Amino acid sequence: MKMGKDIRIAVRVSAKEKERIQAKARKCGLSTTEYVKQRALGYEPRGVPPNVLFVLLEKLGELADKTSSPKLDQEIDMLLRQIASALLLPEKG
């Protein structure tokens, strides 16, 4: 069974609207198509966070790798998931 994307939806916008949509998509690190699709499906894409966030997440992950307590491992894993959810993943609006 083919699962490709073969249906297209065209939407007419003004030049100013197109510029605004493209600027918002760039801010989120998404293509215009992906940005519009996420918004149409009820998601609110987030802006791309600064690189320092990824450095801190990586260091937190390294600390998690060094721990030996299952409880602490679980807490760090939960914190990493909360950070990703709050700052990185699109939110259903």
1 DSSP 8-state letter? -
Task: Using a cut of 0.75, tell me whether the model's pTM lies above it.
Answer: no
For residue 6, the model assigns a pLDDT of 83
Question: Three-state SS for 44?
Answer: strand
Domain chopping of the chain, boundaries: 12-47, 49-93
Query: Using CB atoms within 10 A of its CB, is residue 35 exposed (0-12), middle (13-18) or buried (19+)?
Result: buried
Assess contact for 65 and 54: CB atoms under 8 A. Answer: no
Among 20-24, 34-38, 79-83, 88-92, which is the least confidently predicted range?
88-92
List of residues 6+ apart from 79 with CB closer than 8 A? 60
